Structure formats: C-alpha cells, structure tokens
C-alpha cells in the first residue's frame, strides 16, 4: 500500500469521526431542548393544578352571597371540570389545554364580574384572600406559559432548521404545540362609545 492510500484512509476516518461527533451534538441538543420544553410544561402543569384547587373554594364563597347567580356558578364549575378532564387525559396536547383553559378563564371572568355586584362579598376576607391567591396563580400561569412557549420556540426553530431537520425526522423529534389560551373576548377589538 502506498502512502497516498494511507493518507486517504486517514482523511476518510477523520471526516467520519467528525460527522459522527456532529450527529451526536445535534442529537444531544434535541434532547436538551425537549427536556427544557417538558420542564416548562411541568411548571405550567403545577400552576394549573393550583388554579383548579382554588376554584371550588372561590365558588363556594360566592355561592354564600350570590346563590341566585346559579348560571354563572354552574358555568365555572362546568368549565373547571372540562379543564381538569382535558388536563388529566393522557394524550392531551397544549392546543387542547389552551382551548379548555380559555373557557375556564372566561367563566372566571364572569364570576368576578358577578362578585362586583355584591359589596358584602367583595368585603369578605375569605373572598379577598381567594381572589388574591387566584390573581397570583393567574400571573404564575402566564409566566409559566411564556417560559414554556419560549422553550417550544427554541425547539421548533432547531427542529425545522437544516440540517437538524434531517436528524429530527430520523429520530422522531416531533412538532410541539404552543400553549395558547383561546379567549375570543381578548381577540375582539374593544368597543368605544361616547354616547
């Protein structure tokens, strides 16, 4: 064997090793991004469970002062049940959770509007504490959702970029959905009236 063949085999082996290291680096980055997204979703999950636990106490407190607001109270209870059911389903994605959470957010908004009509309820220390806790939880859900969506954005950007999209296809690094709460009221333009 000539020296040229040895050089060729050495270069080929070096290129193969570099290619293998490059593939390992891309795979490991995918794993890291997937773990970050899973962690982000777990943080959202913790806050959603906290929210679900607060709602029955809030509804019971309102019920004591505004029992004839049965439709609003039933809507909150129903929306909570649907959100919990969606949350507990093993195959639920962020999109489905966003829809269920949007309905729950709307129902809670109507409940808080009802509470405004009852001065005694608004002055109740238990209601005030629950309302403050719910507000704090809603803020934490928002921050957790933002963090999750940021991690999904980084994952999706890397997953769709060339050449990592090839590795994503080979190793089944599938698309992730953003957690968007569908609230039609937030999307509608505000109505301004000067009459």
DSSP letter string over 105-119? HHHHHHHHHHHHT-H
CATH code of the domain containing 152: 1.20.1440.20
Q: Domain for residue 22, yes or no?
A: no
Q: pLDDT digit string (tens) for 176-185?
A: 999 887 665 5
* Phi, psi angle pair for 115, to nearest 5°: -60, -30
Q: Domain for residue 128, yes or no?
A: yes
Q: What pLDDT, on the 0 to 100 scale, is given for residue 149?
A: 94
Helix locations, the chain, DSSP H = 3-65, 70-88, 94-116, 119-123, 125-160, 164-170, 184-187
Q: Domain for residue 102, yes or no?
A: yes
Q: pLDDT digit string (tens) for 62-119?
A: 878 777 777 888 888 888 888 888 888 767 778 888 888 888 888 888 888 888 888 8
pLDDT of residue 193 exceeding 60, the answer is no
Q: Which domain holds residue 166?
A: 32-187
Q: Domain for residue 127, yes or no?
A: yes
- Spatial separation of the C-alpha atoms in residues 19 and 2, rounded to whole Å: 26
Q: Domain for residue 195, yes or no?
A: no
What is the count of structural domains for the chain? 1
Q: pLDDT digit string (tens) for 106-159?
A: 888 888 888 888 888 777 888 888 888 988 998 999 999 999 999 999 999 999
Q: Domain for residue 108, yes or no?
A: yes
Q: Domain for residue 143, yes or no?
A: yes
Q: pLDDT digit string (tens) for 34-47?
A: 999 999 999 999 99
Q: What pLDDT, on the 0 to 100 scale, is given for residue 3?
A: 86
Q: Domain for residue 24, yes or no?
A: no
Say how far residue 77 (Cα) sits from the centre of its chain: 21
Say how far residue 178 (Cα) sits from the centre of its chain: 7
């Amino acid at each position: 064997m000539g020296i040229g063949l040895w050089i060729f085999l050495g270069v080929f082996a070096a290129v193969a090793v570099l290619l293998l290291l490059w593939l390992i680096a891309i795979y490991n980055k995918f794993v890291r991004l997937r773990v970050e997204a899973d962690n982000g979703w777990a943080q959202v999950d913790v806050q959603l469970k906290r929210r679900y636990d607060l709602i029955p106490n809030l509804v019971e407190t309102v019920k004591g002062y505004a029992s004839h607001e049965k439709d609003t109270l039933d809507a909150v209870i129903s929306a909570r049940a649907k959100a919990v059911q969606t949350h507990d389903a093993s195959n639920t994605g962020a999109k489905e959770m966003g829809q269920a959470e949007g309905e729950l957010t709307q129902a809670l908004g109507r409940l808080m509007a009802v509470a405004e009509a009852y001065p005694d309820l608004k002055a109740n220390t238990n209601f005030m504490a629950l309302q403050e806790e719910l507000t704090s939880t809603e803020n934490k859900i928002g921050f957790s959702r933002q963090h999750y969506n940021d991690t999904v954005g980084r994952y999706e950007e890397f997953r769709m970029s060339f050449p990592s999209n090839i590795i994503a296809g080979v190793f089944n690094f599938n698309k992730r959905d953003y957690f968007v709460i569908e609230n039609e009221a937030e999307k509608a333009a505000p109505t301004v009236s000067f009459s």
